[in-house]
Amino acid sequence: MILVRLLDRLYGAVASLIFAVAILGVVSPLVILGPTLPIRRWFGRHGVRLSLLCIGVPLQVSGRDRVPATPCIAVANHASYIDGIVLTSALPANFTFVVQDGAAEWPYVGYVLRRMGVTFVNRNSAREGAAQTRALIRRVEEGASLAIFAEGTFEPDPGLLSFKKGAFLIAARAGVPVLPVGIRGTRRLYGGHSRLPHWSRVDIDILPPIPASPDALQLRDAARDAVLRVCGEPDVAARTAVLAEAEA
């Protein structure tokens, strides 16, 4: 057992260094220097896969054939800081990621995200958020596909949080399907309470799209149920609701 822990720590230290150098020192400069958005996204998608391979992490993606040829909203669970780049490598390059605006101010990383065509939204201002939502609806109506982490954030402890309504309002108003995506393995790899990575395979399940509907709440609940079935994490939202009801 002691040897296992020592090997785990050794892997974490070495993998952390290799992954940081690969992503920040190789992939990110290529993204910054890419002359067009499609080229920059190509570097980003394939660079992430190569970076994971450099630390011995297999990335398995199932259900790519389920991605609609028409615009849609992909929604995924969120368990780690690397979920964004992992999902980038799994979805087609035409997907635009929607991220909290605080990330735009991160040194270096924020600039890389902007070069990848990420759209930033302000969840702290109701007025600005509403305006941004309307702008996203127009973009989807014009043919864009979006990728959103519907929980809005993640916690160190395992569990699927409640889904925010924003992604599903966009889908309902734009009249496009919702594409649920389940991510497994990233919490152990680069999440939880640990500062170092732990080896884990990463699996991404692209699930059958949920047909367009004007009912945003129905879309939200159906998407969350689908993600919950494959993400391998407990239903924190349901547990919290039960405890609140018991205390009432």
Sign of torsion over alpha carbons 9, 10, 15, 21: positive
Query: In this structure, is residue 51 part of a structural domain?
Result: no
Residue 31, judged by CB atoms within 10 A of its CB (0-12, 13-18, 19+), counts as: buried
Query: In this structure, is residue 208 part of a structural domain?
Result: yes
Query: In this structure, is residue 26 part of a structural domain?
Result: no
Q: Supply the pLDDT for residue 103.
A: 86
Query: In this structure, is residue 45 part of a structural domain?
Result: no
Chunk the chain into consecutive blocks of 10 residues (it has 248) and report each block's average pLDDT, rounded to whole numbers.
Answer: 87 95 96 97 96 96 96 97 94 94 89 95 78 93 97 92 95 98 96 89 97 97 98 83 49
Taking the C-alpha atoms of residue 20 and residue 144, their distance in angstroms, rounded to an integer, is 31
Q: Where are the alpha helices (DSSP H) in 21-82?
A: 28-33, 37-54
Tally of domains in the chain: 1
- SS3 at position 22: helix
Q: Supply the pLDDT for residue 244.
A: 46
Query: In this structure, is residue 33 part of a structural domain?
Result: no
Q: Supply the pLDDT for residue 3.
A: 83
Query: In this structure, is residue 9 part of a structural domain?
Result: no
CATH number for the domain spanning 93: value is 3.40.1130.10
Token output for 240: 């919290």
Q: Supply the pLDDT for residue 240.
A: 59
Instruction: Give me the domain span that covers residue 158.
Output: 58-247
Q: Supply the pLDDT for residue 242.
A: 47
Query: In this structure, is residue 161 part of a structural domain?
Result: yes
Q: Supply the pLDDT for residue 123.
A: 74
Taking the C-alpha atoms of residue 52 and residue 43, their distance in angstroms, rounded to an integer, is 14
Query: In this structure, is residue 163 part of a structural domain?
Result: yes
Q: Supply the pLDDT for residue 83.
A: 96
